Structure 1
Amino acid sequence: MHSFQSQHLEALARAEASLAAAQERVAQDRWRLRYHVAAPAYWINDPNGFSFYRGEYHLFYQHHPYSVEWGPMYWGHVKSKDLVHWEHLPIALAPSEDYDRDGCFSGSAIEHEGKLWLMYTGNVWTGEDRDEDLKQVQALAYSEDGVHFEKYIGNPVIEAAPEGNIHPFHFRDPKIWQHEDIYYCILGSQTTDRQSGQVLLYRSADLINWTFISVIAGGQETTEKLGYMWECPDLFALGDQDVLVCSPQGMAKDGDLYHNLHQSGCMLGKLDYATGKFEHGDLQLLDYGFDFYAPQTTLDEQGRRIVIAWMAMWEDKMPEQARGWAGAMTIPRVLTIEDGQIRTRPLPELSKLRGKSVHYTNEKLLSSLAANSQSVEPDSSIYTGRQFAGVSGEYTELEIEFEAGTATSFGIAMRVGESSGEETVLSYDCQQQKLTLDRERSGAGSGGIRRAPLSLQNGILKLRIFIDRSSVEVFAGDGEVAMSARIYPGVDSTGIRFFAKDGETLLKSVDCWTLDQ
């Protein structure tokens, strides 16, 4: 065994021992998610290495196994046969070498010659300034069984950023794929003046020897301000188009858009593999909510493009840190392109989680303003609404169909606490044609309001909502809008109410299921 491999194994063993000492306490937390991927304890961020290998799906994630704060990054690891039920595996990567001693940053995975290969960014701090004093390289690790990984002895395989208007140190998060027997890799980057994000394209015949091709998007060619750094790029074919997913940092607010610290979206177009240029349209958000970052995709057994993202946001409050853990993944979602727009729908197999259910049809909703509405802002009034027996819970799925009727707005309040006044409100404004997710009264954690444009079809609003102990994920229309949020309500805040304002709305149908792993 090479000495560096021994160092790596020792680092992994220490990390596992740290997790083992904390995970039982963490498992008892009332905000602990029941059907979302999270680390056994401590910090988690970007999904990594999302892949299919030997009949199972593998998902890795950025992980600090010693603290609830971001720190030197490891790769946590789970696997699944169905993308619904996940099994925790040993930590896959630890920072143990000179080229990655301060973190095994984000990357991806691919099967090559029967082995599962990981490509990741090795990070080293060269001074006190984490934005300026760093060195980033690209490295490989491989596994014969999909569980135990060995770092490639020839690392790093990409030792430096290319010359040109490319920042020499901020280039990271490799995403690899195969096209016509050649391997390709894209990396997130920025210009030397740190004003514009961009994506770099590399090519290799063997995963080992890489040649820089071009800046495929962003940089000096960007005609609108799309942030100063593009993190976690992903490129794949979907239908007859190519899709570039990235997470721009530093975008300015624009009306209802880009209110999070950083964004995640995609651009539809076509990659010319000969020239290395990606001709594309405008950025489309993948999620209009609060907590969705660094999405990564894979192709499943059925040929569907599946995406998972980090369900949190940088520099936001994370109340679960006081309970020994921080961060989680979104549920898996299926991406399609329809009418030139990206569509996002929850993975159909999530229905395996459904347990006890109730069903209601054709219930009228009439305006009724709550007595305490005078204590809140006029545009965020609380409504008493209607309750239905069995429609409640803290780990619940809802399928809802509203007929707008004469109301000016209507919606649903979730995780309602009768005594605490807590609620997370999803409402539709018929005049502005906007869907609003309001977590101003959701409990602990950050508040805020997010809005998304959405046109109704024949006056009908369809919703599919996934509620977990400290999250809510909304899918509206026919895949047009997704909105995700971490929320931290009290243990008694499990009520659900339906409301209408200034008129009458018909609740055509509502199905409610209890969900559990």
Structure 2
Amino acid sequence: MSDNSNSTLNDTAKADAWIRDHRDCVKPRYRLDYHVMPPVGWMNDPNGLVYFKGQYHAFYQFYPYSSEWGPMHWGHAISDDMVHWKDAPVAMAPGSTADRDGCYSGSAVDDDGKLSLIYTGQIFDDGDIKPFNTEFSETQNLAVSEDGIHFSKYAQNPVIPAAPSDNSRNFRDPKVWKHDGRWYVVIGSSTKDNEARALLYSSADLREWKFESVIAHSEGKIGEMWECPDFFSLDGKDVLLFSPVGMEPEGLKYHNVFQTGYLVGDFDYASGKLQHGEFEEVDRGHDFYASQTFEAADGRRICMAWMNMWQTPMPEQADGWAGAMTVPRELHAVDGQVRMTPIKELESLRGPVIADVAAPLSNDQVLAAPKENRCEVLFSADVPADGNSKIGVSLDIGTDHDVSFTYDAALGRLTLDRGGEDGVRAYDCGKLEKLDLHIYIDRSSMEVFVNDGLATFTSRMYPATAATIKAVAPASGLNGKVRVYALNAMR
């Protein structure tokens, strides 16, 4: 049969009509100005990040009809530069026999000039479509587009109808790549004994798949299910990036509802096994989940993630929308760690310099007051020789508690504190001689990059007023400098 059978045109047209009729009802209070977010309704995982025919495509888990989670569609945005994004028509809606209750997460590839989406279809046993319902079945499916806008589901879906016999119901989030002329996909899963793992399959044509191996598993330490696995080579190493479910807090680690992190090592295609080191979180903030990577036009490995977290307050839901993506980050492998830095293209957002402050910096010194909480902060300071100082920046956002990011030299600890219950996230990075912070603030979000990617912290915040940015410094002052750029909105 043709790939053009079983089209979802009518269902996506219904969703597009709803968006047109309701987008003006969304309140702007916490809307972001240079991040991908839904025009209306609910967003979670980024899907299908890909460079195709000269443009970047970002798909995402989407429910247009409410700011609460619902049956998953695929939303869609397109960009020429990974910075300025425009909404595109809804790419997929649930409703076929393979995805009756949701078109769940997956990936996209350029298959000889056709944009091909590989995604999880979900069917709930009792028809009760709600998050965290455990009575479901999951299969892997294919949809294809000639123009990158309009997609048709493959008539013979599912292309991978079932997991191995020892698998639980968890079998989702396919990420596809090509190696030596053959397609490979890694899929998140768990065994019937709740052992998390990543499954590897291969195919010649994206339609008939062969099970290859368990690429890696949790060994009883890394959760009971791995969502959104992603596998790629980076600076001579192989990386498995994923979001484990079911990890308990351990010291300063794993304090989000769910985590996102990676294993770095060496992969053997003959055995299908990844020899790897210890699991590490890739971002230390509150709101970073379900990350996905792709190759930019020049070969850089780029990452984006959902900038929210399950089962946490989302005040924007009262305004008719929820969810956003992080800014794109470039990845590198350094000394066994995956480091993230903002892509250079973000500099195209820069407007005027609104602060250019040199040493000495004093505690509570006002550095800038950006309008609309939209700015880029470059902070650089020598760590005082006394070894006991706390340095960094704070934001007065008109709430009961300032938002602050600091380095405590006595503890060797980086801390983001956004106030409120469960407001602190911290990471013991060890002794630093210099603290360089690259911070992006966008109305209700804050993304902090430390010392060229040594650590990153991504968190949402909900200001009552425009922010005032201040220095955190010892009483003796701080040898440092700060430059703040106003940023232009991407839309």
Taking structure 1 as the reference length, the TM-score comes to: 0.90
AA aligned to 1:115 is: K
Match of 1:133 among 132, 135, 147: 135
Secondary structure at the aligned position of 1:69 is classed as coil
What do you get for the CA RMSD once the two structures are aligned? Answer: 2.0
AA aligned to 1:297 is: T
Separation in 2 of the partners of 1:136 and 1:409?
49
AA aligned to 2:141 is: A
Work out whether 1:512 is the aligned partner of 2:485. Answer: yes
The structural deviation recorded for 1:390 is: 5.6
Contact 1:393 1:514 in 2 (8 A): no
Q: Provide Cα deviations, 1:45-86, integer angstroms capped at 9, x if missing partner.
A: 000000110011111000001111111000000111110000
The structural deviation recorded for 1:449 is: 0.2
The structural deviation recorded for 1:298 is: 0.3
Paired position in structure 2 for 1:378: none
Secondary structure at the aligned position of 2:23 is classed as helix
Q: Which moved more, 1:150-159 or 1:3-12?
A: 3-12
Secondary structure at the aligned position of 1:388 is classed as strand
Q: Provide Cα deviations, 1:313-346, integer angstroms capped at 9, x if missing partner.
A: 0001000000000000000000001122211101
Paired position in structure 1 for 2:466: 493
Q: Which moved more, 1:123-132 or 1:229-238?
A: 123-132
Contact 1:422 1:493 in 2 (8 A): no
AA aligned to 2:171 is: F
AA aligned to 2:424 is: I
The structural deviation recorded for 1:4 is: 9.4
AA aligned to 1:53 is: F
Q: Which runs of 5+ in 2 are unaligned?
A: none
Q: How does 1:420-435 map to 2 (within 5 A)?
A: 420-435=399-414
Q: How does 1:1-400 map to 2 (within 5 A)?
A: 8-26=8-26, 28-127=27-126, 131-164=133-166, 166-167=167-168, 169-194=169-194, 196-219=195-218, 222=219, 224-366=220-362, 385-388=364-367, 394-400=373-379
AA aligned to 1:472 is: M
Match of 1:437 among 416, 426, 433: 416
Separation in 2 of the partners of 1:300 and 1:65?
29
Secondary structure at the aligned position of 2:88 is classed as strand
Q: Which runs of 5+ in 1 are unaligned?
A: 368-384
Distance change (3 Å), C-alpha of 1:392 and 1:426: farther
Contact 2:403 2:419 in 1 (8 A): yes
Match of 1:409 among 382, 390, 403: 390
The structural deviation recorded for 1:393 is: 5.3
The structural deviation recorded for 1:500 is: 1.8
Q: Provide Cα deviations, 1:244-285, integer angstroms capped at 9, x if missing partner.
A: 000001111111110000000111112211111111111121
Separation in 2 of the partners of 1:415 and 1:160?
52
AA aligned to 1:148 is: H
Contact 2:378 2:437 in 1 (8 A): yes
Q: Which moved more, 1:390-399 or 1:2-11?
A: 2-11
Paired position in structure 2 for 1:449: 424
Secondary structure at the aligned position of 2:367 is classed as coil
Paired position in structure 2 for 1:468: 442
The structural deviation recorded for 1:479 is: 0.9
Separation in 2 of the partners of 1:415 and 1:335?
31
Distance change (3 Å), C-alpha of 1:392 and 1:414: farther
Q: Provide Cα deviations, 1:184-233, integer angstroms capped at 9, x if missing partner.
A: 00100011122x210000010111100111111015xx1x5110100000
The structural deviation recorded for 1:242 is: 0.8
Secondary structure at the aligned position of 1:19 is classed as helix
Separation in 2 of the partners of 1:415 and 1:29?
20
Separation in 1 of the partners of 2:396 and 2:448?
14
Secondary structure at the aligned position of 1:450 is classed as strand
Contact 2:47 2:292 in 1 (8 A): yes
Contact 1:394 1:415 in 2 (8 A): no
AA aligned to 1:155 is: N
The structural deviation recorded for 1:447 is: 4.9
Separation in 2 of the partners of 1:435 and 1:310?
23
Paired position in structure 2 for 1:372: none
AA aligned to 2:68 is: E
The structural deviation recorded for 1:456 is: 5.1
AA aligned to 1:322 is: A
AA aligned to 1:411 is: G
Separation in 2 of the partners of 1:428 and 1:199?
36
AA aligned to 2:414 is: L
Contact 1:422 1:489 in 2 (8 A): no
The structural deviation recorded for 1:410 is: 1.6
Separation in 2 of the partners of 1:152 and 1:2?
8
AA aligned to 1:348 is: K
Q: Provide Cα deviations, 1:455-477, integer angstroms capped at 9, x if missing partner.
A: 454x2100000001110000001
Distance change (3 Å), C-alpha of 1:83 and 1:399: same
Taking structure 2 as the reference length, the TM-score comes to: 0.95
The structural deviation recorded for 1:389 is: 5.4
Separation in 2 of the partners of 1:230 and 1:503?
48
The structural deviation recorded for 1:512 is: 3.3
AA aligned to 1:146 is: G
